[in-house]
Amino acid sequence: MEGLKNLDLEMVTLLNRLVGWQNWLDVIGEALVSDYLIPVMLILGLMWLWFSTDEPSSSGLPAKKTVIAAILAMAFANLAVLVLNEVYFRPRPFTEVELNLLFYRPTDSSFPSNPAALSFALSFSVLRQQRRLGLALMALASVWSLSRVFAGVFYLTDVAAGAAIGVAIALGAAWLLRWLEPLPTAVVRLIRTLHLA
């Protein structure tokens, strides 16, 4: 366990050494690590999927159900991280070693990474049904998660655990929607009747 902690510290220190090296890299890093750029892009991907099929046929239902599954997965992933944070508290990397931060100093537990859990829950839900869009969203989730390590606010294992939680919960949400059928289909039909899809 001590070896893994040392490896975590080495990785975050190694990546964080790039902060301050080049101004343009810091500008890109600040944009990628923020709570806005990549989360907005992920949500725009879901919105595109929701509105990309406007014909009220059965071919449009899987896209709508995928969006519902992604939203459900994000909610459960957030809940799982909240519960785990109550059970186990891990200090942030910047409290253990001196780092150059590109981000504010979060005070909650570092393990597991909530951004990784949410973004991988969303992107993996989409990947299961829409391969091309799902791969793009998975790439965004990976960049967002790794940028948080680069910025010194998460360890690599925090991000890996968050990603694993997100993927597992995405699978669980998809199973739950299949189990609840025909309720998801009825919800999509109601939304279409209200002209929201």
65, 52 contact by CB (below 8 A): no
- Lowest-confidence segment of 51-65, 82-96, 150-164 by average pLDDT: 51-65
Q: Which two tokens stand for residue 69?
A: 């599954």
| pLDDT value at residue 97 | 83
How big is the CA angle at 145 (ends 86 and 12), to the nearest 5 degrees? 85
User: How far apart, in whole angstroms, are the C-alpha atoms of residue 54 and residue 43?
Assistant: 19
| pLDDT value at residue 197 | 63
DSSP H stretches of helix in 34-113: 37-51, 61-87, 93-96
Quote the mean pLDDT of the chain. 87
User: Longest Cα pair distance anywhere in the chain, in angstroms?
Assistant: 57
Name the range with the highest mean pLDDT among 95-99, 127-131, 182-186. Answer: 127-131
The terminus-to-terminus CA distance of the chain in angstroms comes to 50
Who contacts 48 (Cβ-Cβ below 8 Å, separation ≥6)? 133
- Lowest-confidence segment of 19-33, 46-60, 103-117, 157-171 by average pLDDT: 46-60
Domain limits, the chain: 2-193
pLDDT in tens, 13-56: 888 787 778 888 888 888 898 999 999 999 999 999 988 865 44
Give CATH superfamily name and number for 2-193.
Phosphatidic acid phosphatase type 2/haloperoxidase (1.20.144.10)
Who contacts 117 (Cβ-Cβ below 8 Å, separation ≥6)? 77, 78, 80, 81, 162, 163, 165, 166, 169
197, 64 contact by CB (below 8 A): yes
Helix (H, G, I), strand (E, B) or coil at 189: helix
More confident residue, 144 or 15: 144
How big is the CA angle at 184 (ends 183 and 188), to the nearest 5 degrees? 115
More confident residue, 45 or 6: 45
Q: How many CA atoms lie within 13 A of 142 on its CB side?
A: 7
DSSP H stretches of helix in 52-194: 61-87, 93-96, 114-127, 131-150, 156-180, 183-193
In this model, does residue 93 exceed pLDDT 80? yes
In this model, does residue 171 exceed pLDDT 90? yes
| pLDDT value at residue 186 | 82
Phi-psi region of 36 (alpha: psi -120 to 50; beta: other; left: phi over 0): alpha
Task: Give the pTM.
Answer: 0.89
